[in-house]
Amino acid sequence: MKAADLLPYVEKVATMRHYGKVKQVIGLMIESQGPKSSIGELCYIHVHSSFKKKSMVIKAEVVGFKEEIVVLMPYTHIQDISPGSIVEATGGPLEIKVGESLIGQVVDPLGIPIDETPLPDGMETVITEQEPPNPLTRPPIHEVMEVGVRSIDAMLAVGKGQRIGIFAGSGVGKSTLLGMVARNTEADLNVIALVGERGREVREFIERDLGPEGVKRSIIVAATSDQPALMRIKGAYTATAIAEYFRDKGLNVMLMMDSVTRVAMAQREIGLAIGEPPATKGYTPSVFGILPKLLERTGTNQFGSITAFYTVLVDGDDMNEPIADTVRGILDGHIVLDRTIANRGQYPAINVLKSVSRLMNHLAEPKHLKAAEKVRQLLSTHSESEDLINIGAYKKGSSQEIDDSINAAPHMKRFFKQAFDEKIEFSTSVHQLIDLADKGEW
């Protein structure tokens, strides 16, 4: 290798290392006298475990300062940290290894396979926290992304590079819907972030919801609820960085994050720990600062696209709570899962009347749009008149619109219902929608 080829590597070599010492630990926050560092910088805390009888290195990140004191938060446990433990600054943020060999793997937020197998050679290094693309370099979205779910493809068409939210309370079918999209989508690759999930649910999602076919074309980043808040946030950043890497290779990537709410809760935990004042319903200002930066990183650029589905867990099915309201204002559409519909046994439990795709008017053909509008009208009329119909107060023939909605109701219910393992082509979904709108059945 020539000397000129070695220059980039020589420039990365640190000529000076900065160290500090742990002063105290309060909760999950570590206060250190030094080292010289900046916000977001990765540090190593050198400890000796008396229980394991060996020296170890704990990774931590600089999250704030108190005068001359550096405030750090660990990625893992803090049990072995003691006063005087050496803190070493690395001089840079967290980096992960990415490459095609990751496809089919389940990794943690540090990019390390959870099954503890070593990473293969030939991987590239990327920084987990990147800036969103320049708005003027984003090509307009003009191509449909087929997801294989009839109610979405027909009534809420999604474009390549669109970002859409799935809003629902607990137990209404968010993870199941994500699994359906991951298996059925025409995207080149799925990147799935499971943030704050129960440990039991990670394997269940992979084996039951995703299945072998879905795993073969997916990279899963898992950060369970028992892990520190910083790891949960890094799960979202790492998954986004992996999706960005493959987008820059020219692929159409499908990013799915379950859930943004738990990312916000983790950031609130960190904000409160470093002394931020609680603002809207206990959420700190930094929560509303990181959400746009995270969500705007997806979408199109001059190389490829990231189509993103973000789930939002709404407390008590309140769609106007702070996180849901903020995320809905950032994204390009929202899909609302309704508990009432789920209780009827209709899955996916999508409430079409409360859901919207902001790009559908630019993506769908005129005939498709007209049929979707007609079916929405039928749904709306039936929903408004449902109480009268159920108690027998409506007399047939009083309103042609209500009569039409009553006749179409069983066909609409059958149209929006789809088996978990059923894949429906986009063209088939549209054709069935047009038949439903024209004839009231299909």
Q: Would the pLDDT of 387 be above 80?
A: no
Residue 192 CA to residue 238 CA, distance in Å, equals 10
Q: Tell me, what DSSP letter sits at residue 81?
A: -
Residue 311 CA to residue 121 CA, distance in Å, equals 34
Q: What value does the mean pLDDT of the chain take?
A: 90
Q: Report CA 317 to chain centroid distance, whole Å.
A: 19
Question: Residue 442's pLDDT is what?
Answer: 45
Taking residues 23-43, what's their average pLDDT?
91
Question: Residue 5's pLDDT is what?
Answer: 64
Q: Would the pLDDT of 39 be above 80?
A: yes
Q: Tell me, what DSSP letter sits at residue 174?
A: H
pLDDT in tens, 219-268: 999 999 989 999 999 999 999 999 999 999 999 999 999 989 999 999 99
Residue 422 CA to residue 290 CA, distance in Å, equals 37
End-to-end Cα spacing for the chain: 68
Backbone angles phi, psi at 104, to 5 degrees: 90, 0
State what percent of residues in the chain have pLDDT above 70: 94
Look at the chain and count its residues.
442
Write down the residue that tokens 């439990």 correspond to. 349
**Domains of the chain from N-terminus onward:** 16-93 (2.40.10.170), 99-363 (3.40.50.12240), 367-439 (1.20.1270.330)
Question: Residue 7's pLDDT is what?
Answer: 61
- 3-state SS class at 391: coil
CB 94 within 8 A of CB 128: yes
pLDDT in tens, 124-182: 999 999 999 999 989 999 999 999 999 999 999 999 999 999 999 888 888 889 999 99
pTM for this prediction: 0.91
State what percent of residues in the chain have pLDDT above 90: 66
Question: Residue 78's pLDDT is what?
Answer: 81
CA distances 194 to 2, 400, 429, Å, are 44, 48, 29
pLDDT in tens, 267-324: 999 999 888 998 888 899 999 999 999 999 999 999 999 999 999 998 766 777 899 9
